[in-house]
Structure 1
Amino acid sequence: MTRASVERYEIEAFLTLAEELHFGRTAERLRVSTAHISKTIKKMERQVGVPLFERTSRKVALTPVGSLLREQLRPAYDQVQQSVQNAKDVGRGIRGVLRVGYFSSAGGRFMLEVSETFHARYPDCTVQIRELQLSDGAFRLRGGGVDLQICGFPMEEPDMTIGPALYREAKMLAVPARHPFARRPSLSLEDLAHVKMVQNPPELPAYFDEFHHPRRTPSGRPIEPGPTAATFPEILALVGAGKGVYLTTEQATQFYLRPDVNYVPVLDAPPLEFGLGWLTTGHTHRIQAFVQAANDTRDALTGR
C-alpha cells in the first residue's frame, strides 16, 4: 500500500472503526451509511492484501495487521489534524478556551499570575484554571480534561512535552506536632530510617515517587512505608494523627498550616521543580503562547 493510495476519509474511517469496533456507531460518528464504511474498509483491505478486521455476527475485532496499522497511523493522523488546527489558530489569532491544570495552592497562585499576563496579551482567549489531585497524575491531560498542566520534575512520559522549570521549592518533612522531630531545627534524609513514610497514590509515576519519596536513605537503610493517601489534605490528616511523616515542600508552611502538624527543613533532599507539560500531539499556538507567558512571569518574579 503506497501513501498515495490511501485517502484521508479512508484513514478516518479505519481509525474510527478501530476505536468503536462497530460499523453502525462508526457510520453515525462520520455521518455516512454503514454500507459506505464497509465498502471503505474492504477497499483498504484489498490495498493491504490482508484483513484488517475480524467480523462475526457478534463482534468486530482488529486483526494483528489491523492493530499494527492503527498504532502507526494514529499518531501521524492526530499530528496532521493538530497541524490543521494550528493553522486555523494562526489565521484567527489566539482565541478560544485554554484549560490549565495545577496541583497545590502555590501552583494555583502562580497559574493565576501567568493567566493575567496571558490575558493581557490575548484578551480573546479565556483561561480556565482547574485544580488537580495527586491521584489524577496525567489522567486529566490524557483524557482531555485539561490542555496543559503543572508537572513536578522529573517528568519523563513518552507522550508528553515538558517545558522548562518555572519555580522550585525546598523540601520539608511534615511530622506530627508531638513527634521528637518537630523540635529539631532541621533534618537529613538519613533521619527517615526512624519513621514511617505516608505513601503517595499509586497513580504517580514510580520514577517520580522514588526520586522524591525514596524507599531507602542515602546510606541504604530502609524507610518503612506507612498508609497511602490520595490527596494532600488526606496526607496531612494521617500525619497529624501520628500515622507517619511526609516529604513535602516549603509551600506547606504558607498554605497548609495545622495545629497537629509541624514542618521541618530536610537540608540534603533535592528541591522539587515545577514546569508545564502537555501532550505532544496536542500542541497548539494557544499552548505555545501560554508557555511563553509562564516563562515571562517567572523571569519577572525572579528578576531575570
Structure 2
Amino acid sequence: MRWIELRMEIAQIKCFVAAADALHFGRAAQALGMLPASLGRQIRMLEDGLDTRLFFRTTRSVALTPAGAAVLEDMRALVAQADALERRVRDLGRDAAPVLRVGAIDSAAAGLMPPLLRLLRKAHPGIEVRLVEQKTIHLLPRLLRGGLDIAFCRPPETRDPRLVFRTLFHESAVVALPEGHPLADRASVTVADLADAPLIVPDRRSRPHSHDLTIKLFLDAGLTARIAQVAEEKHTIVSLVATGTGLAIVPRWTARIAVPGVRFVPLEMPPSAAHGRLVLAAAWTRGTRDARRDALLTVLEEHLKTIADSA
C-alpha cells in the first residue's frame, strides 16, 4: 500500500515540476500526456498534502508562489531520483521478462503489426510479444511507468525528454464514404470534392493528429470543414460512415477495419501538403536496454520500405 501511495506522490510532484517549467497547465498536461483537468487535480492534491499553495492561478496566468519557487529544484531532484530508480528496477527485471510488451495505435495495430510480427517470429521464434492497442495519450504514460517496452504512436508536439522517438514513415490519408455515395466509385478525390460534405472527426483531446489532419487540409484549401459528428474510436467513425452520418478522412490502414457498406478512396493532395500524411514513430524509454526490443527494431529496419509503401 505504501508503494502505491509513493507512486501517487511522485506523480503529483512530476505534475508540479512540469507546470512550473511551462507556467501553463495546458502545455504541461500535453507534455505529460494527460488532460489539463487531471494535472490540476494532481497539483491540488499535492498542495493539500503539503498544506501549502505552490501556484498563483488566474484564468489568464499561472505563477509560482514563493513557496513553490523555493522547493522547485528539490522537487526536480526528487523526480530525477525516482526516474533513475524506476529505470534501474526495470533494467534488472527486463532480462527475466518473458514477453516483449508492444503498444500500438489503432492504425499501426491494423497495418504495421501483422507483417512485423510475422517477420519477427521468422527471425526470432523465441520472442513472445504481447500487443496493447491504445491511443498515443495512453501509450506514452504506460511507457514511462514501465508497462510497455516500445510503442508505435504519433509523436506529440511537446516530447518528454525521458522518451526516445524514432520517426519511421508517414501514413497516407484516405476518405471513408458510404458505398452509395457519388464519390465512392472514384479512383481518388480532392479536398475540394468534399467541400459540402458532413464530416466525422475524432475528438482533438484524445486524437490531435487525426483531428488536425482534417481541419488543416480544409483550411489550406480555403474551405471550412463541416463537422457533423465527433467520435472517439476509429471503428466507431467508420461505422458512422456506413450509416450515412458523414464522411471521414482517416489513415490508409484504417481500411483494414472491416465494416460493411464503406468504401475507402485515396485522397489527392499537393506534394507540399506534408500534414496530409500522419507521422508514425517508435518510442521507448531513454536509457533502457532491451535485447528483444532491439531485435524488433532491427527486423523493422530491414523491411521498413516495404511496410511503409503499404501505409
Confirm or deny a common fold (TM above 0.5).
Answer: yes
Given the alignment, which residue of 97, 100, 115 partners 1:98?
Answer: 100
Equivalent residues in 2 for 1:144-223 (5 A)? 144=145, 145-152=147-154, 155-159=156-160, 160-165=163-168, 167-204=169-206, 206=208, 209-211=211-213, 213-214=215-216, 216-223=218-225
AA paired with 1:72? R
Q: Hey, what's the Cα distance between the residues in 1 that align with 2:141 and 2:123?
A: 24
Q: Does 1:290 align with 2:293?
A: no
Q: Tell me the equivalent position of 1:68.
A: 72
Q: Tell me the equivalent position of 1:277.
A: 283
Q: Tell me the equivalent position of 2:268.
A: 267
The Cα RMSD (Å) is 3.8
Query: Structure 1's 61 and 217: CA in aligned 2 closer, same or farther, altered over 3 A?
Result: same
Q: Does 1:108 align with 2:110?
A: no
CA contact (8 A) 1:155 1:162 kept: no
Give SS of 1:178's match: coil
Aligned residues: 244
Cα deviation code 1:168-192 (max 9, x no counterpart): 4432100122222213221112223
Give SS of 2:297's match: helix
Given the alignment, which residue of 69, 81, 84 partners 1:80?
Answer: 84
Q: Which structure has the greater CA radius of gyration?
A: 1
Give SS of 2:213's match: helix
- Over the matched positions of the two proteins, sequence identity in percent amounts to 19
Q: Which runs of 5+ in 1 are unaligned?
A: 1-11, 22-54
CA contact (8 A) 1:101 1:129 kept: yes
Query: Structure 1's 97 and 74: CA in aligned 2 closer, same or farther, altered over 3 A?
Result: farther
Query: Structure 1's 201 and 142: CA in aligned 2 closer, same or farther, altered over 3 A?
Result: same
Q: Hey, what's the Cα distance between the residues in 1 that align with 2:9 and 2:97?
A: 33
AA paired with 1:277? A
Q: Tell me the equivalent position of 2:141.
A: 142
TM-aligned CA deviation for residue 17 of structure 1: 8.8
Give SS of 2:235's match: helix
Query: Structure 1's 140 and 215: CA in aligned 2 closer, same or farther, altered over 3 A?
Result: same
Q: Hey, what's the Cα distance between the residues in 1 that align with 2:252 and 2:81?
A: 44
Q: Tell me the equivalent position of 2:38.
A: none
TM-score (norm 2): 0.63
TM-aligned CA deviation for residue 111 of structure 1: 4.2
AA paired with 1:113? R
TM-aligned CA deviation for residue 115 of structure 1: 3.9
Cα deviation code 1:66-106 (max 9, x no counterpart): 751464124422453355357647xx868543210122321
Equivalent residues in 2 for 1:24-63 (5 A)? 59-61=49-51
Q: Hey, what's the Cα distance between the residues in 2 that align with 1:207 and 1:301?
A: 21
Cα deviation code 1:207-234 (max 9, x no counterpart): 5531355373423210111211121221
